[in-house]
Structure 1
Amino acid sequence: MISKVFSLSLMGIDGFVVEVEVDLNGGLPSINMVGLPDTVVKESKERVKSAIKNSGFKMEPARITINFAPADLKKEGTHLDLAIAVGILSCMNEINYKNTLGCAFIGELSLNGEIRGVRGVLPMVLEARKTFKKIFIPQENWGEVDFIEDIKIYPVSNLNEVVDILNNNIDYNYMSMKNNYGEVKYDLDFSEVKGQKYVKRAVEIAASGGHNVLMIGPPGSGKTMIAQRIPTILPELTIDEAIEVTKIYSIAGLLKEKGKLILTPPFRSPHHTVSFASFIGGGSNPTPGEVSLAHNGVLFLDEFPEFRRDVIESLRQPLEDGSVLISRVKGKINYPARIMLVASMNPCPCGYYGYPYRQCHCSENQIRNYFNRISGPILDRIDIQISVEQVDYEDLHGKKAEESSLEIRKRVIRARKIQIERFKEDGIYTNAQMKNKHINKYCVFTRAASKILENAYKNLKLSSRGYTKILKISRTIADMDGSEIINEDHVSEAVQYRILDNKIYK
């Protein structure tokens, strides 16, 4: 007898349907698999066989052939176990085969028949709802997909439960199991940061417009402390953004709680020894790297010049296009990587160049070589470049209450709402994502502001990209002021946030 059941697999962050055909015949007892299964899938024959026996079903000796279609795509992962088991049980007449039609099955089987959680359930269910009416998934993964409609999702914990549902047409009230998403609470807060008004203002502008930031200052001035608190002032992710982020983390197997949609902007802070593949993504079956894991959130690179040159240069495409294209022999995979880059560095190798209270011991050549570790094109792509000075004793020791993340976040959300409304027909969300056509349409300057822009372009010898960055920052500052027109104050402040164009450190 032959049966055909369905599962899904992954290609990048998208799922595709896999047909699992099972043919059970007489002959020497064996299980043969065809259709480009990898080693993990081939090993499933032992797991499935033990799970069926230990679930109380008698498995007669037989020759079993299992085919995975489409046969030209490699099948990877343990999530095909459940579909294989259902196919075999259908051939054994232990499951009513007609009830498997219109269903898909995802899950790894243990030897005793329990169903374990797997990676990538969210993208697979999103793909399944286009084709199927029902899908069976591991109980562990339920929270990833509890918000999805248009398909009945059955979170199951063991093989016997699947058989009972299929044979008895059980349709329990699975919707009652939905997660309760409360207000997000952070352990960190900007009220803990003493002083640094100039830096806080620059970071607020960056968060409001989705701009990239480079902080340059001596050790201990608070660069890392400020960067770690940036997610606390960012708006919560929209449902579409949350789905994108959760898909990436689901594929990478990094969901902290199997079962919850990620609603807060991710914060990634890789060590400077990170490899190229783990940073940008890679492997024989490419998995998301740190850049993609920071999608719709913050990628913080501490000690920026200490990262390998190829790692730093790999940021060119994601900073410009908001995605990463990984090419392998099997094909090309595109991972989203729309990030807010926050980088920090010292002004020189010893860290005290230009610091009034401690002498710098670096030569001019050492300082120049230190800055040359970061290429001009990368620096040009960083919108806001600011100097972080040491905090004064009065600020550090004072009892004055600092502004909380909640207060700053309210202003950021107000500015973001203006941008969302402005760009609702353009397919972008923030000022940092504007192209030239958007700048021409939405950046209207007063005469005095245009004059300041002209002087800045000529005197600072700005590149075209550097000039465009100033326009985008000016637009964000105007949004924070609730102004449609960009005036001279907005432009003047924007120019101050380009210290490397001002040659302060060069």
Structure 2
Amino acid sequence: MNVLSFVPLGFDGELVSVEVDLRHGLPGTEIVGLPGAAVREARERIRVALANSGFVYPPLKILVNLSPADVPKFGAGFDLAIAVALLCRSGQIPSVIEGTTLAIGELLLDGRVRPARGVLSAVAVAYRSGITHFTVAREGFREAQSFGKGRIAAISHLRDLRHAFLGAPAKQEISDEHGIETVCVELSSVKHKSVASAATDIAPNYREMRGRPVLKRACEIAAAGRHNLLLSGPPGCGKTMAAERLFGLCPDLSHEQAVEVARIYSTAGLFQQEIRDSRRPPVRAPHHTASSEGMIGGGRYLAPGELSLAHNGILILDEAPEFRRSVLQGLRE
């Protein structure tokens, strides 16, 4: 069985193949393939987590290769994939899964599994590559489920791997002797329904504005045609108030658009239950001191900026002339 993990680099990210080689020699573990500090530290986390979960850390010379080797690997999301690959290679967890599985999650020293950044993007990219089995942390199950396809094993502890890799029946919850649950759900037949959001009822709307019929009409046209809108006038004339109420005029997102938005927030580490359940467009209103990286995206490890986080939604630039010239130029281009 091949084991993959994921690095949230850019919008799509990159699938990473996790290979483990065991050889006789001086015991030790080496991780290669441009690992970051958090990935290199996984050696000690995995060693202790396996021991505290009833597994045996092989007293051998262990080499872990993360491929492609030219892509920087960062974050603690590789912990679970390395642990799964190590246990499969040493024969400690039998598996009925054929082909490739994706595993993403962070390990605590007691063996518990925490969610990692970019779960939804990882599932989407892996499914497009023909992978249908995913192993994630239980807390990240709803995020992985948002994609709606594939078979997801959500585990709370490393002990649950025995259940997850023995082909547990779909839509069944299993409790072992430690009271820890494993959830395996077949999602290929899940039908997506439009989720009615109460956001429109509690969000600011134009019923709260008195007068300004021309301004309201301009906002209606901008929202209906998804046009850019420039509001100019003296302080206190209602520019910010009108811009904040554009949200109530925008229609709900389609399922495809909602998944795109959720993937961006997942990659940025901002995924929340409200984002998954809501079909309402996102609204972002960054401060005028925001940097070019914060607005456009980028950085040492490519991350979405405010422009990407407002995808399919509304980006409000209050006091636009106060933004840095490089930011405005980047938005214009």
TM-score band by shorter chain is 0.7 to 0.9
Structure 1 residues 316, 139: CA separation in 2 closer, same or farther (over 3 Å shift)?
A: same
User: What CA distance in whole angstroms lies between the structure 2 residues aligned with 1:38 and 1:100?
Assistant: 30
Q: Residue 259 of structure 2 corresponds to which residue in structure 1?
A: 243
User: What CA distance in whole angstroms lies between the structure 2 residues aligned with 1:265 and 1:140?
Assistant: 25
Single out whichever of 176-185 and 4-13 deviates more from structure 2.
176-185
Q: Residue 138 of structure 1 corresponds to which residue in structure 2?
A: 137
Corresponding letter in the other structure for 1:199: L
Displacement, 1:269?
A: 0.6
- SS of residue paired to 2:77: coil
Q: Residue 153 of structure 1 corresponds to which residue in structure 2?
A: 152
User: What CA distance in whole angstroms lies between the structure 2 residues aligned with 1:202 and 1:170?
Assistant: 56
Structure 1 residues 235, 258: CA separation in 2 closer, same or farther (over 3 Å shift)?
A: closer
User: What CA distance in whole angstroms lies between the structure 1 residues aligned with 2:96 and 2:37?
Assistant: 31
Q: Where in structure 2 are the equivalents of 1:74-85 lying within 5 Å?
A: 74-85=72-83
Among candidates 259, 265, 283, match of residue 299 of structure 2: 283
Q: Residue 235 of structure 2 corresponds to which residue in structure 1?
A: 219
Corresponding letter in the other structure for 2:270: L
Q: Which runs of 5+ in 1 are unaligned?
A: 318-506
User: What CA distance in whole angstroms lies between the structure 2 residues aligned with 1:178 and 1:64?
Assistant: 44
- 1:40 correspondence with 2:54: no
Among candidates 186, 197, 210, match of residue 226 of structure 2: 210
Larger radius of gyration: 1
Structure 1 residues 172, 83: CA separation in 2 closer, same or farther (over 3 Å shift)?
A: same
User: What CA distance in whole angstroms lies between the structure 2 residues aligned with 1:143 and 1:242?
Assistant: 15
Among candidates 87, 104, 115, match of residue 85 of structure 2: 87
Corresponding letter in the other structure for 1:113: G
Q: CA offsets, 1:414-460, max 9 Å, x none?
A: xxxxxxxxxxxxxxxxxxxxxxxxxxxxxxxxxxxxxxxxxxxxxxx
**8 Å Cα contact 2:258/2:279 also seen in 1:** yes
Displacement, 1:252?
A: 0.7
Corresponding letter in the other structure for 1:87: A
**8 Å Cα contact 2:13/2:121 also seen in 1:** yes
Structure 1 residues 17, 256: CA separation in 2 closer, same or farther (over 3 Å shift)?
A: closer
Displacement, 1:267?
A: 0.7
User: What CA distance in whole angstroms lies between the structure 1 residues aligned with 2:83 and 2:274?
Assistant: 24
Among candidates 170, 184, 194, match of residue 198 of structure 2: 184
**8 Å Cα contact 2:197/2:279 also seen in 1:** no
Q: Residue 396 of structure 1 corresponds to which residue in structure 2?
A: none
Displacement, 1:101?
A: 3.5
Among candidates 180, 198, 206, match of residue 214 of structure 2: 198
- SS of residue paired to 1:67: strand
- 1:256 correspondence with 2:272: yes
User: What CA distance in whole angstroms lies between the structure 2 residues aligned with 1:42 and 1:84?
Assistant: 11
Q: CA offsets, 1:461-506, max 9 Å, x none?
A: xxxxxxxxxxxxxxxxxxxxxxxxxxxxxxxxxxxxxxxxxxxxxx
**8 Å Cα contact 1:142/1:259 also seen in 2:** no
- SS of residue paired to 2:218: helix
Q: CA offsets, 1:209-253, max 9 Å, x none?
A: 011111112212221111111111100111111111111111111
User: What CA distance in whole angstroms lies between the structure 1 residues aligned with 2:317 and 2:235?
Assistant: 15
- SS of residue paired to 1:99: coil
- SS of residue paired to 2:65: strand
Q: Where in structure 2 are the equivalents of 1:485-500 lying within 5 Å?
A: none
Displacement, 1:127?
A: 1.5
Q: Residue 51 of structure 2 corresponds to which residue in structure 1?
A: 53
- 1:305 correspondence with 2:321: yes
User: What CA distance in whole angstroms lies between the structure 1 residues aligned with 2:49 and 2:249?
Assistant: 49
Fraction of identical pairs, as percent: 41
Q: Residue 105 of structure 1 corresponds to which residue in structure 2?
A: 103
User: What CA distance in whole angstroms lies between the structure 1 residues aligned with 2:302 and 2:145?
Assistant: 27
Displacement, 1:14?
A: 0.9
Structure 1 residues 102, 4: CA separation in 2 closer, same or farther (over 3 Å shift)?
A: closer
Corresponding letter in the other structure for 2:306: E
- SS of residue paired to 1:33: strand
**8 Å Cα contact 2:153/2:164 also seen in 1:** no
Q: Residue 477 of structure 1 corresponds to which residue in structure 2?
A: none
Q: Which runs of 5+ in 2 are unaligned?
A: 172-184
Displacement, 1:204?
A: 0.2
Q: CA offsets, 1:382-432, max 9 Å, x none?
A: xxxxxxxxxxxxxxxxxxxxxxxxxxxxxxxxxxxxxxxxxxxxxxxxxxx
User: What CA distance in whole angstroms lies between the structure 2 residues aligned with 1:274 and 1:283?
Assistant: 13
Structure 1 residues 15, 131: CA separation in 2 closer, same or farther (over 3 Å shift)?
A: farther
Q: CA offsets, 1:19-78, max 9 Å, x none?
A: 111112232221101112121211111111111111122324222110111222222222
The two structures have a TM-score, normalised by structure 1, of: 0.59
- SS of residue paired to 2:116: coil
- 1:228 correspondence with 2:228: no
Q: Residue 175 of structure 2 corresponds to which residue in structure 1?
A: none
Structure 1 residues 112, 283: CA separation in 2 closer, same or farther (over 3 Å shift)?
A: same
**8 Å Cα contact 1:140/1:259 also seen in 2:** no
- SS of residue paired to 1:285: coil
**8 Å Cα contact 1:246/1:261 also seen in 2:** no
Q: Residue 17 of structure 1 corresponds to which residue in structure 2?
A: 15
Q: Residue 415 of structure 1 corresponds to which residue in structure 2?
A: none
When you count helix as a share of all residues, which structure comes out higher?
1
Corresponding letter in the other structure for 1:301: L
Displacement, 1:290?
A: 1.0
**8 Å Cα contact 2:96/2:167 also seen in 1:** no
Displacement, 1:157?
A: 1.7
Displacement, 1:142?
A: 2.1
Q: Residue 28 of structure 2 corresponds to which residue in structure 1?
A: 30
- 1:70 correspondence with 2:86: no
Q: Where in structure 2 are the equivalents of 1:102-501 lying within 5 Å?
A: 102-129=100-127, 130-166=129-165, 168-173=166-171, 174=185, 181-185=195-199, 186-257=202-273, 260=276, 262-317=278-333
- SS of residue paired to 2:80: helix
